[in-house]
Structure 1
Amino acid sequence: MDRVKIGKLPAELTSFVGRRREVGDVKRLLTQGRLVTLTGVGGTGKTRLAQRVATELRRAFPHGVWFVDLPHRNGTDQPATEAHDPDVLACLVGAALGLPMQSALPPLRLLADQLAARHMLLVLDNCEQLIPACATLVDTLLRTCPEQRILATSRELLGIAGELTYAVPPLPTPESQTSPDLKELSRNESVALFVTRAEVAETGFQLTEQNRAAVADICRQLDGLPLAIELAAARIRVLTPLQIVDRLGDRFALLSSSERAAPHRQQTLRACVGWSFDLCSPSERSLWARLSVFDGGFQLAAVEGICADDTLPEAGILDLVTGLVHKSILTFDNRGAFARYRMLETIRQYGQEELGRRGEAASLRRRHADWYTSRADEAERDWFGPDQDRWCQWLWAEHGNLRVAFDFCLSVPDGRERALHLAGTLWFYWLVFGLVSEGRTWLRRALEANAERTRDRAVAQWIDGHLAFVQGDLDTADAQLEAARDLARELGDELTQARAVKRLGAVAMFRGDHELANALLTDALARFEALGEQGASVAHARIGLAMNSYLQGDFAAAVQQDQQVLAICRPRGDRYLLAHGLNNLARVEFALGKLESASAHAHEALKLGRSLPDAMTLMFSLDLLTEITAAAGDYERAATLIGAARNRWQVLSSVRHWTVLAEPHREWVDRTRQALGDAAFAAAVRRGSDFAIDDVISYALGEYVEPSPDPDTITPDVRLTRRESQIAELVAQGMSNRQIAAQLVISQRTAEGHIERIMQKLGCNSRTQIVRWFHDR
């Protein structure tokens, strides 16, 4: 057996990068409790974090800070067999601390007696394969040594009274939606780690404009996992960053190290993950493999519905999921109404390989596709009603799983019709979330794979025509809607036929043929009512008739239709179509000079948009409020709203094709510019364009509170953005990162990145210092 690695603290052979927030968090926990266990999947940097915390706390412990790397057999990562005995483990720890252990007393009692009066910090590293012995040892020391603190690292909790746990997260990664400048990207912790290690591997390596996208992609694909990033950086000796990206599909073959002194489990990514796999029970390993069919996280109900069978009974799934969370294989997110679980992509790929070795991949993917298709059907049935918000959240969270289900269905001959069905079922999802292009891509692929003249094909053609209409592709819309109408008539599908007729009426209205539009929309409404439809279809048809009447100048008819839309939607708890009806009603009232009621209805529509991701409704509300505000003479506010809307319309540029509305809006923009003058107009527009989406809505509703003066008015050397100032205030209110993320509707990792940048700008290293700075302002 190797001699236990001893010494007060091992020397750091490589630089310590980032983790300022984590170091501060762990130090704070050690003031709150006497045992802190750092947990996390292999490769997250638990040992390095523990070493750095211990180094910074040296002066706080008169009797020293001691690091004990728990023993392994010669040349392996397996624990020494005898170390499973708490007394043997006590002997080894005593030897590491340089204590005489020759007494006739039991070793654990002897160790406790000798440490009883010592004020020290003991770091126990790699406890995961000695959990029972470590738990007994630690519990004994805590009960008999009142001045001792213990910092443990383990992939699994010790599970004893008084244990505080800290899940060591991966490093923050660059956001895929943003393209920060080189300086800002270099401050990202995962990028900084890659660059630092790459500089060691290849002298002269630098982050450049040419390689920054590839480096950011490496860090994102590796989920910010420090070990994986370090192993990837070592390949800079022979590969460019772009070549590394291309090879990450087989990351276990790519990511290995020639560092012979490193533990075996840290020399290759496969060995590191395999070490975690070996810690699991046979049932946990089986579930790990099956969970790899999910993409982007999952809920417990999905696990029970897809992964359970005779070998893994549904009644035991919750306990197995709990075990995988405790072993850091799964991360747990409880911010929503239902808990979600997620695997790092590296963990997932290992599970996929294992699933393939077990011969279960095809059957699990089919069960996954069946379950999500069934849930999508349920979402469509329940969409128009009080559960709208819940289904919005579910669909957005499960986007990755829906995509995986669709791809699988297309990949097998007997699944292609189901793929067509799934793409059509999600019609409201494509519209509400603004995913029009993606929806049309799914529909095109599915239609190309299904030439049979079926009801699902007619539905898909109707939806493709609807989405083409939203994009302003009116010729394609006409062709697809006419094909859907004809096929539905042939098949006797009255509902799809009525839907196609309704949307053909909308196309005619957009073309300016209001007489044809009225005929088609009236025909569609009659068809719906004949079928006994009472909900969304009827509301849709009346929204079209109301807008067509408005465009013809028949305001009384428009108001009558809009009022009926509201009467349909309000009792059912719908918000999506209600917001459209309110916007339409507000526009008619604005045309009639009823500014007060127009403003009230537009504000109500905007409030509904707060809980819906429907970007189009939001933008129409903002444009309408801009015009109402300008008409009321508040030109500076109108210009700010113009700026708030402008950037967001660019994302939806393909749908802003209705010149009948766009041209009057441009007139109000010109009138506002003339009233303010070019300089004041430009300044107000810039201010609005800087608003985050939640600020936009608050400002438009008159609820926006100007943030406290930026710190640069007090301390010229420090500048926080508006978002950073907002987050600093939430930190000062005592909110956790998770609470801040939920409050601002951003990811926890994004919140963490903002807090790290705040610390860097302020030159502090703890949340407490942020609080003090905020209150000192």
Structure 2
Amino acid sequence: MAQPQPRVLVVTTVHSIYTLIQRTLKAQGFHTTHTISYDEAQTYLEDETHHLIILDLTHTRQQQIDDYHRLRQRTTIPLIVLIDDESEQNNGTIADIVTDDYLYYPFDPENLLSHVRNALRPRQTQATEQPYLHLGTTTIHFDERQAMCNGQKIYLTRTEWKLLEILALHHGKTLTYRTLLQHVWGDAYHDEHSYVHTYISQLRRKLELDPTKPRYLLTEVGVGYRLEASTNSVQSTEEPITTDSTSEKITETPWELTTPHTKLFGRETDIKAIQYLLGQTDVRLLTLTGPPGVGKTRLAQHIAETIKHQFSDGLYTVSLAPLRDHSLVASAITQAIGAKESAHQTLHEALMQTLKGQQALLFLDNFEHVLEAASLITKLIAIAPDLTILITSRTPLRISGEQEYPVPSLTTPDSTIPASLETLAHNPTVALFVRRSQAVKPDFVLTDENAPAVAAICTRLDGLPLAIELAAARSKLFSPQAMLARLDQRLTLLSHNTTDAPARHQTLRAAIDWSYQLLQPEEQRILAGLSVFAGGCTLEAATSVLNNDQQLLPEPPLSTTSLGPDPQTLTMVNHLTTLVDHSLVQVKEDINNESRFTLLETIREYAWEKLGESSKMEQVQQRFADYYLELVEKAAPEFKGSQQVWWLNYLNQEYENICIIIQWMLTEKWILQVLRMGSALWQFWWISGKLSDGNRYLTAMLSHETLSEAHNDKQTRVEWARVLNGAGSISLIQGYYQLATKHFTNALNFWEKLNDEENTAHALNNLGNLSHQQNDYALATKYHMQSLGIRRKLDKVWDIAVSLTNLSFVELDRGNYTQSMTFGEESYTLFQKTDDKWGMGASLNNVGRAALLSRNYDTAITACNKSLKLFQELKSKFGIAHALVNLLRVHLDQQDREQVTIYGQESLLLFKELNDVSGSADCLEAIAEVAISHTRWSQAIHLCSVATKLRNSVNTPRSPSDNIRYEQTLTFTREQLNEDTWQQTWNEGQKMSLEEAIDYALEHVTVNEREVAS
């Protein structure tokens, strides 16, 4: 149940004061009520629940004082009195007011919030017996709760008394911020240093002669405060503060790390590696680096606690997070080791002298924002030969002798491999999520229903422990399934109110913002701009999209040559190096052994927000689109040449970015540009087997609502016709013949009207392929011969090779195996001239199939294996699948069952992934022949039946040669079973879907594999 809004009653006659208070408190979720009358204030208190009163006495009159006393008698609600300055607090009318707190006017919003939050906190009591304390001319009597200076009474609030008492009890010793917070404000408040700062400042104003140069209430920078004073028998009924689960030990010996409550998950390898490094004599300085939220501090704490016994002088630990100035690092370390500055020794000298002969472990947490203090670490290592320093930092120190250990994210479940509940439960990220969920929801358990969602959450959060813990904290409100659906807004979702965590770790956004604020403005701009890259980017892409001038690089350097002297590129190198050093950008090698820069998705979402807040978002997106349009248009002609493999691999690497660009262009109605993308990419989709993606994107382009308006532009019409060519080709492969006919016919009509012979030949070639698939061999031959004639006239070597390959395929299915091999061998020779591996693979596949049907098995195996190798080099799933089917049939004829099993499994899985109906039917019929060889008559009938159903669904009849083998299979089965049984079995096959048929065939092939193995 949600907590009610705190209600604050403000009593003031000055509207501007109320406005300031109301705006400040409203922004923090407080509800305020305003009144100028004390009588009305009493009515409000009777009618409504209020949690705090702020009383304005900045213009004190006796009537106000009288009204205050009447109000105070009627309520015990905490009350803050607003006065002009501290001098007024000591005048005769104010000094006798017994209130909870004073607030001086004018005040800043942060100071107001500190006082309000403190007043609303539950009070703790502390019984003390402390006769008096001398602070120069000021005497403080603890038994009477009275402070006097030269005979004048000084008023202290309840909180100020408590703070002074705890400091007096441990006078001469430094109490940390956390300790003071715990003992004055309560166990739940460990990181609100502003409360301590505010009240120490108030005590100094009241007790010190010169608050700007305190003599008694002294600061130990980055650590806490101590009281130096003369006391008379200062005693307390409480025991002195000692180490427990929530506070540090206050002692003259080295500080020790508080043992964390939480268990580490998945860090066994890291712990061993770090301990090994720290055990090496040449490793004196080890820096754990990593992105925000990866768990550097928690891991370092565990390591330090584990190995501290190996150091005779123990462990010193210093949290550098509170420091705002690198010059204060030495002071913080000095305090931690117990060294003291004196008249004869400076602070640095005391530090060096103390550590010089010690064999100790010094742990410095959060060094990234005080990097200028790295020179101090160099001096410590030089002067203290037995000192080992362990540092956590989002940025390495980059000093001599530093050993860096990048802390990786936790290993997430592999989404590509189905995993059991037990397997997921042992994954470290899942185990962490479950444990933290149980901390807020004790009945939370991992089940078959929620485990996939938990695994997906951990993966989406990049395996970052902080992000996973923050997500698990929401288990009280959301199921894992519901939480997963909300992760698109992960930075908003991932926060909690655990106050013992540092503020920068209480939300994922705060954790990243801590690093972002340490960047220079230009580096912040680069980080925000990198968010447009969904799949990471090369140095050249980052330079082209994010450089400051308005021009794209005319020829992006996409080869693996050296960078050269280009100043924009070198500047980008420097910026990216800084971002990598700050653990905000990840770097890894790409397929060309070049650096590729990526953002974790959590950081990318943060950077995307920053880009959206800037005025550069539209400009960056446009340059992003321009760059990738130029990239794919540069790649398109290379699909026919010697750089085919390189470009296919490169575009696969950039595929996430390409998909985002296409979707953005469609959304922004950039119709000409998106058609150019489609006409450049369709061969990539075809060759790489991304048929469903290609069909989806090309269909979206051709059906876009603005296409009809854009047809008035000639260039748009040309690109439209090219996209028709690609869309028709992919529809043909997928068996959508009616749609392919429409696309090819429209394209042919358009090119003929323009008298464009080259593109007319392309359209005729495609219509020939379509006729071939529908077993109209005469019409297919006619189209291909027309296309070949134009191409020979234009002397287009690659295009001629394509026509010959297609004619080879037609003659193959017509049973003219010798002519098929002749066409195939000629096309292979031409493709060799253009170094087109895909063309060579297709030609060899035809040659191998013709040799198989001619029962020339040696030639068939040689040709098909060469074809398979070429397609594998290209990672062409379509080509690989068809080469495997041919090899399957060759080895089936040779009764090589083991190879048949291997080829059958691989080809079936590829056809399933490609959703290739025609290819799947070919493969299922081949597997049916395998079933016959194992005398599995029912399985053979099932596979033939479903293959026939699939062919009918896409109007793809068998070729004559395939039909002969198919009829032989049916004859064998009819001879083994009676007609009723055979027909019933056939009908069962007709009920199978494509996916069910492939799964059925895979199961059958697997059974055969076990039989061979036995």
Tell me the TM-score range normalised by the shorter chain.
0.7 to 0.9
Q: How does 1:14-163 map to 2 (within 5 A)?
A: 14-32=262-280, 33-72=283-322, 79-81=323-325, 84-85=326-327, 88-99=328-339, 102=342, 104-133=344-373, 135-163=374-402
Partner-residue secondary structure (3-state), 2:403: strand
Q: Which moved more, 1:19-28 or 1:459-468?
A: 19-28
Are 1:357 and 2:613 matched, yes or no? Answer: yes
Residues 448, 649 of structure 1: alpha-carbon distance in 2 compared, 3 angstrom cutoff: closer
Partner-residue secondary structure (3-state), 2:795: coil
User: Contact 1:3–1:71 at 8 Å: present in 2 too?
Assistant: no
Deviation per CA, 1:558-608, whole angstroms, max 9, x where unpaired? 112111222122233322221111221111222222222222222222222
Q: 2:450 aligns with which of 211, 232, 237?
A: 211
User: Contact 2:412–2:458 at 8 Å: present in 1 too?
Assistant: yes
Q: Unpaired segments of 5 or more residues in structure 2? A: 1-220, 225-247, 250-254, 551-566, 712-716, 940-1000
Residues 273, 565 of structure 1: alpha-carbon distance in 2 compared, 3 angstrom cutoff: same
Q: In 1, distance between residues paired with 2:306 and 2:754? A: 75
User: Contact 2:898–2:1009 at 8 Å: present in 1 too?
Assistant: no
Q: 2:421 aligns with which of 182, 201, 209?
A: 182
Q: In 1, distance between residues paired with 2:472 and 2:755? A: 62
User: Contact 1:95–1:101 at 8 Å: present in 2 too?
Assistant: no
Deviation per CA, 1:691-741, whole angstroms, max 9, x where unpaired? xxxxxxxxxxxxxxx9xxxxxxxxxxxxxxxxxxxxxxxxxxxxxxxxxxx
User: Contact 1:488–1:497 at 8 Å: present in 2 too?
Assistant: yes
Residues 400, 237 of structure 1: alpha-carbon distance in 2 compared, 3 angstrom cutoff: same
What letter corresponds to residue 622 of structure 1 in structure 2?
Answer: L
Tell me the residue number matched to 1:345.
Answer: 601
Tell me the residue number matched to 2:627.
Answer: 371
What letter corresponds to residue 914 of structure 2 in structure 1?
Answer: L
Q: Unpaired segments of 5 or more residues in structure 1? A: 73-78, 691-705, 707-777
Q: How does 1:516-531 map to 2 (within 5 A)?
A: 516-531=779-794
Are 1:577 and 2:817 matched, yes or no? Answer: no
What letter corresponds to residue 370 of structure 2 in structure 1?
Answer: L
What letter corresponds to residue 665 of structure 1 in structure 2?
Answer: A
Q: In 2, distance between residues paired with 1:648 and 1:219? A: 29
Q: How does 1:455-466 map to 2 (within 5 A)?
A: 455-466=718-729
Q: In 1, distance between residues paired with 2:657 and 2:828? A: 35
Residues 666, 229 of structure 1: alpha-carbon distance in 2 compared, 3 angstrom cutoff: closer
Are 1:622 and 2:884 matched, yes or no? Answer: yes
Shift of 1:348: 1.5
Partner-residue secondary structure (3-state), 1:304: helix
Residues 510, 684 of structure 1: alpha-carbon distance in 2 compared, 3 angstrom cutoff: closer
Tell me the residue number matched to 1:673.
Answer: 934
Tell me the residue number matched to 2:117.
Answer: none
What letter corresponds to residue 3 of structure 1 in structure 2?
Answer: V
Are 1:391 and 2:647 matched, yes or no? Answer: yes
Q: How does 1:378-457 map to 2 (within 5 A)?
A: 378-413=634-669, 415-449=670-704, 450-451=707-708, 452-453=710-711, 454-457=717-720
Shift of 1:330: 0.6
Deviation per CA, 1:619-673, whole angstroms, max 9, x where unpaired? 22222222222333432332233234333332234244486x5476246423542
Residues 632, 300 of structure 1: alpha-carbon distance in 2 compared, 3 angstrom cutoff: same
Q: In 2, distance between residues paired with 1:445 and 1:677? A: 43
CA RMSD in angstroms comes to 2.8
Residues 571, 52 of structure 1: alpha-carbon distance in 2 compared, 3 angstrom cutoff: farther
Tell me the residue number matched to 2:848.
Answer: 586
Residues 244, 667 of structure 1: alpha-carbon distance in 2 compared, 3 angstrom cutoff: closer
Q: In 1, distance between residues paired with 2:839 and 2:866? A: 13
Are 1:546 and 2:808 matched, yes or no? Answer: yes
Q: In 1, distance between residues paired with 2:857 and 2:277? A: 57
User: Contact 1:8–1:66 at 8 Å: present in 2 too?
Assistant: yes
Q: In 2, distance between residues paired with 1:141 and 1:445? A: 65
Runs of 4 or more above 6 Å deviation: 675-678, 681-684, 687-690
What letter corresponds to residue 458 of structure 2 in structure 1?
Answer: C
Q: In 2, distance between residues paired with 1:256 and 1:92? A: 30
Instruction: Report the count of equivalent residues.
Output: 675
Shift of 1:91: 3.5
Q: Which moved more, 1:170-179 or 1:38-47?
A: 170-179
Deviation per CA, 1:394-447, whole angstroms, max 9, x where unpaired? 11111111112112211223x122112212211122112211111111111111
User: Contact 1:462–1:480 at 8 Å: present in 2 too?
Assistant: yes
Q: In 2, distance between residues paired with 1:664 and 1:352? A: 51
Q: In 1, distance between residues paired with 2:398 and 2:1008? A: 52
Length-normalised TM-score, structure 1: 0.82
The structure in which a higher percent of residues are strand is 2
Partner-residue secondary structure (3-state), 1:293: coil
User: Contact 1:455–1:493 at 8 Å: present in 2 too?
Assistant: no
Residues 477, 120 of structure 1: alpha-carbon distance in 2 compared, 3 angstrom cutoff: same
Tell me the residue number matched to 1:710.
Answer: none
Query: Per chain length, whose mean CA-contact separation is higher, i.e. which structure has more relative contact order (CA < 8 Å, sep 6+)?
Result: 1
User: Contact 1:645–1:689 at 8 Å: present in 2 too?
Assistant: no
Q: Which moved more, 1:160-169 or 1:241-250?
A: 241-250
Residues 393, 67 of structure 1: alpha-carbon distance in 2 compared, 3 angstrom cutoff: farther
Tell me the residue number matched to 1:294.
Answer: 533
Q: In 1, distance between residues paired with 2:320 and 2:272? A: 25
Shift of 1:170: 1.9
Residues 238, 526 of structure 1: alpha-carbon distance in 2 compared, 3 angstrom cutoff: same
Are 1:477 and 2:740 matched, yes or no? Answer: yes
Residues 51, 668 of structure 1: alpha-carbon distance in 2 compared, 3 angstrom cutoff: same
Q: In 2, distance between residues paired with 1:326 and 1:71? A: 18
Q: In 1, distance between residues paired with 2:607 and 2:905? A: 48
Are 1:488 and 2:744 matched, yes or no? Answer: no
Shift of 1:459: 1.3
User: Contact 1:352–1:361 at 8 Å: present in 2 too?
Assistant: no
Residues 650, 268 of structure 1: alpha-carbon distance in 2 compared, 3 angstrom cutoff: same
Are 1:271 and 2:505 matched, yes or no? Answer: no
Q: 2:775 aligns with which of 512, 519, 524?
A: 512
Shift of 1:71: 5.0
Q: In 2, distance between residues paired with 1:220 and 1:633? A: 46
Shift of 1:520: 0.9
User: Contact 1:296–1:400 at 8 Å: present in 2 too?
Assistant: yes
Partner-residue secondary structure (3-state), 1:305: helix
Partner-residue secondary structure (3-state), 1:166: strand
Partner-residue secondary structure (3-state), 1:124: strand
What letter corresponds to residue 436 of structure 1 in structure 2?
Answer: L
Q: In 2, distance between residues paired with 1:387 and 1:606? A: 19
Q: In 1, distance between residues paired with 2:379 and 2:410? A: 34
User: Contact 1:325–1:331 at 8 Å: present in 2 too?
Assistant: yes
Q: In 1, distance between residues paired with 2:928 and 2:292? A: 61
The structure in which a higher percent of residues are helix is 1
Q: In 2, distance between residues paired with 1:688 and 1:42? A: 52
Length-normalised TM-score, structure 2: 0.63
Tell me the residue number matched to 2:764.
Answer: 501
Shift of 1:677: 14
Q: In 1, distance between residues paired with 2:375 and 2:256? A: 23
Q: In 2, distance between residues paired with 1:684 and 1:467? A: 31
Structure number with greater Rg is 2
Partner-residue secondary structure (3-state), 1:279: coil
What letter corresponds to residue 785 of structure 2 in structure 1?
Answer: T
